[in-house]
Amino acid sequence: MSATKLVLVRHGETAWNVEGRIQGHLDIPLNEIGLAQAAAVGTRLSGENFDAIYSSDLIRAYRTASPVVAQPEIDIVRDERLRERNLGVLQGLTGEEAGIAQPAAWKVFKSREPDLALAGGESLGGFSRRILDFVETILDEHAGRRILAVTHGGALDVVYRHATRMPLSAPRDFTIYNASVNVISVSGGRWTIESWGDIHHLPQELAMDDS
């Protein structure tokens, strides 16, 4: 059987990305740049053949996926399992605000210890299992096919670490750009990164920093 190709896209920019504000499960829409990034993603991917298209049910991801197809309400499966990590009491805060208002939760978040509980939200390990369980499910359902999934930075972090066997606790040393295209090939249980952090489809003014 041929390899299964998983094309992962991070959602476009939001106002909260710009402000450094923690979004988590909060349903924050794309800003003007994010909408332009979504259009560029559509131009890049609309001519490619996908056997299935999935998106987080949060609007910033779904709106990024929508320009890829003519009938998004029919062609895109919205699935809450592709959501960002639930960051509980930290959601809505900037890092500076979190350190003051929720110091215990902020310490847990910054520690990257997988099994530490985060007040009102998911542990890092629990979040990782959610994402990987979903990915394994769709890989089984679409074995040997080409799949598109539009999701969030935290989900991409989990997938990259799994593919490279990088521990969840290790500091991140790879990019996760808004509206980036990232391709994973899976064959015989082996995950291979074919490309990562590709933003060549974005005009220079739309290629934002990794945040």
Instruction: Report the 3 state secondary structure along 74-140.
Output: HHCEECHHHCCCCCHHHCCCEHHHHHHHCHHHHHHHHHCCCCCCCCCCCCHHHHHHHHHHHHHHHHH
Complete DSSP assignment for 156-173: HHHHHHHHHT--TTSPP-
Parallel, antiparallel, or unpaired: how do β-strands 4-10 and 52-55 relate?
A: unpaired
Of 13, 84, 122, 152, catalytic: 84
Q: In this structure, is residue 60 part of a structural domain?
A: yes
High-pLDDT (> 90) share of the chain, %: 94
pLDDT at 210: 62
Q: In this structure, is residue 192 part of a structural domain?
A: yes
Q: In this structure, is residue 99 part of a structural domain?
A: yes
Least Cα distance to 118 among 128, 135, 131 occurs for 128
Average of pLDDT values for 57-64? 98
Q: Is the pLDDT of residue 16 over 70?
A: yes
Q: In this structure, is residue 211 part of a structural domain?
A: no
pLDDT digits (tens, 9 = 90+) for 25-52: 999 999 999 999 999 999 999 999 999 9
Q: In total, how many domains does the chain have?
A: 1
Q: Is residue 19 among the annotated active site residues?
A: no
CATH of the domain at 32: 3.40.50.1240
High-pLDDT (> 70) share of the chain, %: 98
Which residue range forms the structural domain that includes residue 118? 4-206
Residue 54 neighbours by CB under 8 Å, 6+ apart: 76, 77, 78, 79, 82, 138, 147, 148, 149, 150
Give the confidence band of 204 by pLDDT, cuts at 50, 70, 90.
confident
pLDDT at 203: 86
pLDDT digits (tens, 9 = 90+) for 125-138: 999 999 999 999 99
Give the confidence band of 207 by pLDDT, cuts at 50, 70, 90.
confident
Give the confidence band of 54 by pLDDT, cuts at 50, 70, 90.
very high
Of 11, 13, 122, 152, catalytic: 11
Q: Is residue 84 among the annotated active site residues?
A: yes
